[in-house]
Structure 1
């Protein structure tokens, strides 16, 4: 079998593993069941991934690498607008809904070292996101870090919620944009925090 065919076969099996994890839950799938579902022996599966956690880590890591690439790609071409950032997140969620579900639901199933590495990727993503959309925020310190965390969570939860609502795509995206832009602009000007003091 040539390299291209092996690679395509591996990607197909990886997608099937992703679907099984998303359907049943990572913790409910044994290595034997996974191998059987993929049409492999357990030994052949172990050849590619030493453990289920390594496969899960690979799938979750890919999500954060894609998120970072989306932000960094826009920075190379031009300064992305918040509208473009929102649209890029919407499109990525539409393309990889199962991976986002795993990243949210099954992160706790990773080893502690893997969780730390994913946490580092998430921090890089949040810092890049903040630099991109709010380069001149009046917020500082913990308030700014909390803002980045909330914005990242909204950007990565709203698409799933709205895409599941059966709204037409354009209407769902417009609703997401409206929700995020209004809240972000007000918060980053510091209005919410200043009025609470």
Structure 2
């Protein structure tokens, strides 16, 4: 990649990260385009050159998170192929992803409703695909079906995505936090999937 192109990519990523931090701090709906432009170091007019709209930027940030969540399932599949505990692998992968992208988790949880109906629908498809893959890895032989299966997948995914945020900063060593997450999920799985 030429030096100028690499610099443009780095500047774009830095501006995108600054925009994400502002959205996470104030709330997507509370940030004006003018404030966003000033925060990322652009004029209001040139902001549209970098980001087509505030909504498109938010959509991209949340979509990227769902792509990363889908990648956590690959780690679970690799663990399964090596005969390692799948749940422990998934817990560790989600813990790491949350440590790397806490602001994206916050935006996905809080500001999804600020997107257009079409954007929300596309993200719902991505989330359902992730949830179905997650449940298939954790409980491949479940007898659940229909809405109960979908609800169970949603609850398990929500726990995996929220527990790291609840546990970070609680003073527990990481290994104890991971063990607690695994225990909570295992308890829920055993009771739900009987």
Q: TM-score, normalised by structure 2?
A: 0.92
Give me the whole-angstrom Cα distance separating, in 1, the residues matched to 2:147 and 2:123: 21
**Are 2:63 and 1:61 aligned?**
yes
How far has the Cα of 1:75 moved from its partner?
Answer: 2.4
Shift, 1:58, TM fit:
0.5
Instruction: Report the counterpart of residue 174 of structure 2 in structure 1.
Output: 169
Deviation of 1:188 (Å): 1.2
1:161-189 per-residue CA deviation (whole Å, 9 max, x = no partner) reads 11142322222221111111122123212
Distance in 1 (CA, whole Å) between partners of 2:159 and 2:136 is 17
Partner Cα distance (2:136, 2:79) in 1:
15
CA drift at 1:31:
0.5
- Provide the rounded CA distance (Å) in 2 between the counterparts of 1:55 and 1:139: 37
SS in 2 for 1:136: coil
2:88 corresponds to 1:83: yes
1:70 aligns with 2:75: no
Partner of 2:183: 178
Q: What's the counterpart of residue 194 of structure 1? A: none
Residue 155 of structure 1 pairs with residue 157 of structure 2: no
**What are structure 2's unaligned runs of at least 5 residues?**
none
1:136-160 Cα deviation digits (max 9, x unpaired)? 0122222111110110111111111
Q: How far apart, in 1, do the equivalents of 2:126 and 2:32 lie?
A: 28
Instruction: Name the Cα RMSD after superposition.
Output: 1.5
SS at match of 2:39: helix
Deviations 1:96-120 (A, max 9, x none): 0010000000000011110001101
Aligned to 2:17: 15
The Cα of 1:77 is off from its aligned counterpart by 6.7
- Structure 1: state its 5+ residue gaps: 190-197
Aligned residues between the structures:
189
Q: In the alignment, which of 6, 9, 27 is matched to residue 8 of structure 2?
A: 6
Superposed CA offset, 1:3-54 (max 9, x none): 1111011101111111111111111100110000111011221012221000
